[in-house]
């Protein structure tokens, strides 16, 4: 961690995981050196999965192993006006990832306890509770103390139009489709209440035997807040999955499941587990006793079963493997995550993240990879109806009109509601797998029943909260964006949903607080909104989507992936409600596939454009809020550099032998230095950067050669979740010529 003292204006740059952490090793020294010339300190805070785990266990770690709770620190900072945080994507860990990270830290000498999946006794429950704080979407809901504004800046959109990426061709005969439940899902059972008076609510389960049990007490609620409760029937889900398995086989399409088991860290792993249990049912039933003994948990995927086979008697393990292979002969083929390695769609819950997986399918002509490594039509199972329909609408559109054309299509920016753990971000501690048949009720302090569901054992029940102030802020942000970009805005709200009806009433009321004259503002159900937006983008027109938290997530991968080929090129800003700024980098995740390639070939194809855009926005915000004129000069020059970077197409080439992430950082540094040397707003900066620009330009060929020369060899990172920073820095900064120029600027 680097830290400054006193009142130096500062930007916090987050250290995260996987590809973005690798990119940081190369980019951060450049950022620090440039920012330093304006007296801006760039400090780092570690919010990686490994860092978060270590921060939970100060009591078991030696003094030199302890790390501070940087996430808690940044969460507090996000509620203050001085916050200026650049947030890179981090791992939202599934249980298999969490266990792998713990194992790696233990092997590095950190005396951490094992993850007690089924805790026995108080001590193990306490350990599990600590680990669970680091699991799933543990970071974003803490830092996102504002709503989200994600869009492709004009320069990026123009670049995509000039250099359209490849889109898979769609056939009108495509059999690909989305399958969702028709009843018994969250959509069908949602109830919603607007809180009239601040207080607390509690959640009570009363079993059919009359005994009651508090699932949750003391949930604080504020006036005007919207709370919802909803429930998915385990029986209906299992029947639905069975029917889809049969139908996929009958139609000869791949079976694939698309969930968000990382962000919806309690409900979706259970849904994933039901799909695994149904698909592999005959084998799991036959070997139930031995698998239970081995600790297999279907919620962790069929990969968990394979991981446990070595602990079994060899003949039993061989029989289980043979039974699975035989079962594959009776099942539809599974969509593959990695067909070369035999990793299926049901192996690990964190490999099938719907926001990225559905757009990838749509980009690849609606097909997914089959076990033979070929593209094939697929059934995309998205059990809950809340949002599944939007993807079917895209598929229908592509089947009817062909793939979208990035050279001509319009854009769909997003204004997303997520502040103060809005909607599903607030569900993590209020989602339960129901232990017994009965009734779940949400009660207020006086004991009045606010919401009520009949439940059966195994059902998933969850409650969400959405505070009033974030809703007001979201409406305001939507109007501001519509006005600034002179673009129609559509609130995606479904009149069939209780929560959405409450939101729509608030939207109607809060729109009156703003001057909306001349603006085109609609409220439409998601499928209708999708159709409306698709028709417009085919005609080259833009439409702002104004959505809740989940659609924010889904749409900000879907549209950028269609429009730009990747969501890495998005500007992703979170204007914090307290006045600070959280600048996210792109809209994608931490790209584990990129790390595999880096480890194997010393080639990192991570595109840092998202970081460049976030940095410009962060410097601009810093200049505005602290009056630092030099930061403004740096920001303006970075805008120019970003434009030139796009014009010159200096993103990673994605081919060994071409520039990768590191090469793209060199070009950004050169263009940025050149823009600073060319400007006349600040003579001192001009003088500082003239020789830097000169040195970088003079040595361009040499630097590029030094950066490319290392490619093609394996890299030792000294760890995956907790790599050795010395090794990473050496690997990510292989050009001594570039390093000398940057280090001399840093002084």
Ligand X SMILES: O=C(O)CCC(=O)C(=O)O
Ligand Y SMILES: NC(=O)C1=CN([C@@H]2O[C@H](COP(=O)(O)OP(=O)(O)OC[C@H]3O[C@@H](n4cnc5c(N)ncnc54)[C@H](OP(=O)(O)O)[C@@H]3O)[C@@H](O)[C@H]2O)C=CC1
Strands 521-524 and 41-46: unpaired
Range 112-136 burial, b when 16+ CB lie within 10 A, else e: bbebbeeeeeeebeebbebbbbbbb
Does position 639 interact with ligand X (CB under 6 A)? The reply is: no
Q: Which of residues 554-573 bind ligand Y (CB under 6 A)?
A: 566, 568
Does position 561 interact with ligand X (CB under 6 A)? The reply is: no
* 518, two tokens: 């001349």
Residue pair 194/397 in contact (Cβ under 8 Å)? The answer is: no
Q: Whole-angstrom Cα distance, residue 72 to residue 52?
A: 10
Query: Between residues 556 and 737, which has the closer beta carbon with respect to Mg ion?
Result: 556
Residue 392 binding: pick among ligand Y, ligand X, Mg ion, none (C-beta 5-8 Å cut-off by kind)? none
What is the nearest approach in angstroms of ligand X to the Cβ of residue 643?
A: 25
Strands 191-194 and 226-232: antiparallel
Instruction: Identify the helix (H) or strand (E) that includes residue 660.
Output: none
Contact code string over 314-343 relative to ligand X, x by CB under 6 A? ------------------------------
Q: Is 311 annotated among the ligand-binding residues?
A: no
Query: Between residues 370 and 556, which has the closer beta carbon with respect to Mg ion?
Result: 556
Applying CB under 6 A, among 262, 345, 392, 674 the residue interacting with ligand Y is 262
Query: Between residues 377 and 424, which has the closer beta carbon with respect to ligand X?
Result: 424
Query: Between residues 145 and 355, which has the closer beta carbon with respect to ligand X?
Result: 355
Applying CB under 6 A, among 403, 587, 637, 669 the residue interacting with ligand X is 587
Query: Between residues 262 and 674, which has the closer beta carbon with respect to Mg ion?
Result: 262
Q: Is 606 annotated among the ligand-binding residues?
A: yes
Q: Is 45 annotated among the ligand-binding residues?
A: no
* 33, two tokens: 């050196």
Q: Is 90 annotated among the ligand-binding residues?
A: yes
User: CA 402: distance to chain centroid?
Assistant: 28
Residue 333 binding: pick among ligand Y, ligand X, Mg ion, none (C-beta 5-8 Å cut-off by kind)? none
- Closest listed residue to residue 586, CA positions, set 244, 86, 121: 86
Does position 359 interact with ligand Y (CB under 6 A)? The reply is: no
How far lies 731's CA from each of 387, 584, 605, 716, 735, in Å?
42, 25, 14, 9, 10
Q: Is 10 annotated among the ligand-binding residues?
A: no
Q: Whole-angstrom Cα distance, residue 338 to residue 341?
A: 6
Residue pair 205/450 in contact (Cβ under 8 Å)? The answer is: no
Does position 92 interact with ligand X (CB under 6 A)? The reply is: yes
Question: CA-based diameter of the chain, in Å?
Answer: 81
First-to-last alpha carbon distance for the chain, in angstroms, is: 19
Residue pair 42/28 in contact (Cβ under 8 Å)? The answer is: yes
Applying CB under 6 A, among 16, 137, 155, 267 the residue interacting with ligand X is 137
Query: Between residues 493 and 582, which has the closer beta carbon with respect to ligand X?
Result: 582
What is the nearest approach in angstroms of ligand Y to the Cβ of residue 592?
A: 6
Instruction: Identify the helix (H) or strand (E) that includes residue 123.
Output: helix 121-132
Q: Is 501 annotated among the ligand-binding residues?
A: no
Residue recorded with tokens 């990832």: 97
Q: What is the DSSP string of 388-439?
A: HHHHHHHHHHHHHH-S--TTT-----EEE--TTT-BGGG-GGGEEE--SSEE
Size of the residue set binding ligand X (CB under 6 A): 9
- Closest listed residue to residue 637, CA positions, set 695, 697, 679: 679
Applying CB under 6 A, among 140, 357, 487, 642 the residue interacting with ligand X is 140
CB atoms within 10 A of CB 640: 17
- Closest listed residue to residue 604, CA positions, set 593, 612, 594: 594
Per-residue HEC secondary structure of 229-244 comes to EEEECHHHHHHHHHHH
Does position 590 interact with ligand Y (CB under 6 A)? The reply is: yes
Q: What is the DSSP string of 82-95?
A: T-EEEE-----B-H
Does position 490 interact with ligand X (CB under 6 A)? The reply is: no
Q: Nearest-CB residue to ligand Y? A: 589
Residues in contact with Mg ion by CB under 5 A are: 355, 553
Q: Which residues have a Cβ under 8 Å from the Cβ of 498 and sit 6 or more positions away? A: 190, 191, 192, 228
CB atoms within 10 A of CB 95: 24
How far lies 324's CA from each of 287, 288, 306, 498, 607, in Å?
11, 14, 11, 43, 39
Residue 350 binding: pick among ligand X, Mg ion, ligand Y, none (C-beta 5-8 Å cut-off by kind)? ligand Y
Does position 588 interact with ligand Y (CB under 6 A)? The reply is: yes
* 295, two tokens: 């600790």
Does position 90 interact with ligand Y (CB under 6 A)? The reply is: yes
Does position 589 interact with ligand Y (CB under 6 A)? The reply is: yes
Query: Between residues 153 and 332, which has the closer beta carbon with respect to ligand X?
Result: 153
Query: Between residues 225 and 424, which has the closer beta carbon with respect to ligand X?
Result: 424
Using N-to-C axis directions, what is the helix angle for 18-36 and 609-626, rounded to 10°? 40
Residue recorded with tokens 């920001």: 635
Quick one: which segment of 513-521, 584-592, 641-649, 725-733 binds ligand Y (CB under 6 A)? 584-592
Does position 470 interact with ligand Y (CB under 6 A)? The reply is: no
Residue 194 pairs in a beta bridge with 226
Residue 487 binding: pick among Mg ion, ligand X, ligand Y, none (C-beta 5-8 Å cut-off by kind)? none
Quick one: which segment of 430-438, 492-500, 581-589, 670-678 binds ligand Y (CB under 6 A)? 581-589
Q: Is 607 annotated among the ligand-binding residues?
A: yes
User: CA 216: distance to chain centroid?
Assistant: 28
Q: Which of residues 666-725 bind ligand X (CB under 6 A)?
A: none
Does position 644 interact with ligand Y (CB under 6 A)? The reply is: no
Residue recorded with tokens 């209708």: 528
Q: Whole-angstrom Cα distance, residue 469 to residue 471?
A: 5
Does position 349 interact with ligand Y (CB under 6 A)? The reply is: no
Applying CB under 6 A, among 189, 244, 262, 737 the residue interacting with ligand X is 262
Instruction: Identify the helix (H) or strand (E) that includes residue 464.
Output: strand 460-466
Does position 24 interact with ligand Y (CB under 6 A)? The reply is: no
Q: Which of residues 541-560 bind ligand X (CB under 6 A)?
A: 553, 556
Q: Nearest-CB residue to Mg ion? A: 355
Query: Between residues 16 and 628, which has the closer beta carbon with respect to ligand Y?
Result: 16
Does position 94 interact with ligand X (CB under 6 A)? The reply is: no
Residue 256 pairs in a beta bridge with 380
Does position 350 interact with ligand Y (CB under 6 A)? The reply is: yes
Does position 263 interact with ligand X (CB under 6 A)? The reply is: yes
Applying CB under 6 A, among 91, 284, 320, 529 the residue interacting with ligand Y is 91
Does position 646 interact with ligand Y (CB under 6 A)? The reply is: no
What is the nearest approach in angstroms of ligand X to the Cβ of residue 587?
A: 5
Q: Whole-angstrom Cα distance, residue 619 to residue 736?
A: 28
Residue 478 binding: pick among ligand Y, ligand X, Mg ion, none (C-beta 5-8 Å cut-off by kind)? none
Residue pair 46/1 in contact (Cβ under 8 Å)? The answer is: yes
Query: Between residues 16 and 737, which has the closer beta carbon with respect to ligand Y?
Result: 16
Q: Is 143 annotated among the ligand-binding residues?
A: yes
- Closest listed residue to residue 375, CA positions, set 279, 466, 273, 256: 256
What is the nearest approach in angstroms of ligand X to the Cβ of residue 353?
A: 7
Residue pair 47/74 in contact (Cβ under 8 Å)? The answer is: yes
Mark the binding-site residues for D-threo-isocitrate, compressed into ranges. 150, 552
Contacts to ligand X by CB under 6 A:
92, 137, 140, 262-263, 355, 553, 556, 587
Mark the binding-site residues for NADP(+), compressed into ranges. 87-92, 140, 589-590, 594, 605-607, 654
Mark the binding-site residues, compressed into ranges. 87-92, 137-144, 150, 355, 552-553, 557, 589-590, 594, 605-607, 654
Mark the binding-site residues for Mg(2+), compressed into ranges. 355, 553, 557
Mark the binding-site residues for substrate, compressed into ranges. 137-144
Contacts to ligand Y by CB under 6 A:
89-92, 140, 262, 350, 353, 356, 360, 566, 568, 586, 588-593, 606-607, 610
């Amino acid at each position: 961690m680097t830290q400054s003292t006193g009142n130096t204006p500062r930007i916090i740059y987050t250290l995260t995981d996987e590809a973005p952490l690798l990119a940081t090793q190369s980019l951060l020294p450049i950022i620090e050196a440039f920012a330093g010339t304006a007296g801006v300190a760039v400090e780092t805070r570690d919010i990686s999965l490994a860092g978060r785990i270590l921060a939970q266990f100060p009591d078991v770690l030696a003094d030199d192993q302890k790390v501070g709770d940087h996430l808690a620190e940044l969460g507090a900072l996000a509620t203050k006006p001085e916050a200026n945080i650049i947030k890179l994507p981090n791992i939202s860990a599934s249980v298999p990832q969490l266990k792998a990270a713990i194992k790696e830290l233990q092997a590095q000498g950190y005396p951490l306890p094992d993850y007690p999946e089924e805790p026995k006794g108080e001590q193990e429950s306490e350990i599990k509770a600590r680990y669970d704080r680091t699991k799933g979407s543990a970071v974003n809901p803490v830092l996102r103390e504002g709503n989200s504004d994600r869009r492709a800046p004009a320069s990026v959109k123009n670049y995509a139009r000039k250099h359209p990426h490849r889109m898979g061709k769609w056939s009108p005969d495509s059999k690909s489709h989305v399958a969702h439940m028709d009843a018994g899902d969250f959509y069908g059972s949602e109830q919603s209440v607007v809180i009239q008076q601040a207080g607390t609510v509690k959640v009570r389960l009363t079993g059919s035997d009359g005994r009651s049990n508090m699932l949750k007490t003391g949930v604080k609620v504020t006036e005007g807040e919207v709370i919802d409760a909803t429930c998915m029937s385990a029986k209906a889900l299992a029947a639905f999955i069975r029917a889809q398995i049969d139908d996929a086989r009958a139609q000869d399409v791949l079976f694939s499941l698309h969930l968000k088991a990382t962000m919806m860290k309690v409900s979706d792993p259970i849904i994933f587990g039901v799909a695994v249990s149904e698909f592999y049912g005959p084998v799991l039933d036959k070997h139930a006793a031995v698998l239970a003994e081995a600790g297999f948990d279907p919620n962790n995927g069929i990969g968990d079963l394979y991981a446990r086979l070595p602990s079994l008697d060899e003949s039993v393990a061989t029989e289980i493997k043979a039974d699975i292979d035989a079962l594959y002969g009776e099942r539809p083929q599974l969509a593959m995550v990695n067909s070369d390695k035999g990793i299926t769609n049901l192996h690990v819950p964190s490999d099938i993240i719907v926001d990225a997986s559905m757009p990838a399918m749509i980009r690849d002509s609606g097909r997914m990879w089959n076990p033979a490594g070929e593209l094939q039509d697929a059934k995309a199972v998205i059990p809950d109806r809340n949002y599944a329909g939007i993807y079917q609408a895209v598929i229908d559109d592509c089947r009817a009109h062909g793939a979208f054309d990035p050279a001509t299509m319009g854009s769909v920016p997003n204004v997303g509601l997520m502040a103060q753990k809005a909607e599903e971000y607030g569900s993590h501690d209020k989602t339960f797998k129901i232990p017994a048949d009965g009734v779940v009720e949400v009660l207020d302090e006086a004991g009045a029943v606010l919401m009520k569901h009949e439940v059966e054992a195994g059902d998933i029940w969850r409650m969400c909260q959405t505070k009033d102030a974030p809703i007001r802020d979201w409406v305001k942000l939507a109007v501001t964006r519509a006005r600034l970009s002179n673009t129609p805005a559509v609130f995606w709200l479904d009149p069939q949903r209780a929560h959405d009806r409450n939101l729509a009433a608030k939207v109607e009321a809060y729109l009156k607080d703003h001057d909306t004259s001349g603006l085109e503002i609609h409220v439409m159900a998601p499928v209708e909104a999708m159709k409306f937006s698709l028709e417009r983008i085919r005609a080259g027109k833009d439409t702002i989507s104004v959505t809740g938290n989940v659609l924010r997530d889904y749409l900000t991968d879907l549209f950028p992936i269609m429009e730009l080929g990747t969501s890495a090129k998005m500007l992703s800003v979170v204007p914090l409600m307290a006045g600070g700024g959280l600048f996210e980098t792109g809209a994608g995740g931490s790209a584990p596939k990129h790390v595999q390639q880096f480890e194997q070939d010393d080639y990192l194809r991570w595109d840092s454009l998202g970081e460049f855009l976030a940095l410009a926005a962060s410097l601009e915000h810093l200049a505005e809020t602290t009056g630092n004129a030099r930061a403004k000069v740096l920001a303006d020059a970075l805008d120019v550099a970003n434009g030139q970077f796009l014009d010159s197409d200096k993103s990673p080439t994605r081919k060994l032998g071409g520039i990768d992430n590191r090469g793209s950082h060199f070009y950004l540094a050169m263009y940025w230095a050149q823009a600073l040397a060319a400007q006349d707003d600040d003579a001192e900066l001009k003088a500082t950067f003239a020789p830097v620009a000169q040195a970088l330009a003079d040595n361009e060929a040499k630097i590029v050669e030094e950066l490319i020369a290392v490619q093609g060899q394996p890299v030792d990172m000294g760890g995956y979740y907790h790599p050795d920073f010395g090794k990473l820095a050496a690997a990510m900064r292989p050009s001594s010529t570039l390093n000398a120029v940057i280090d001399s600027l840093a002084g």
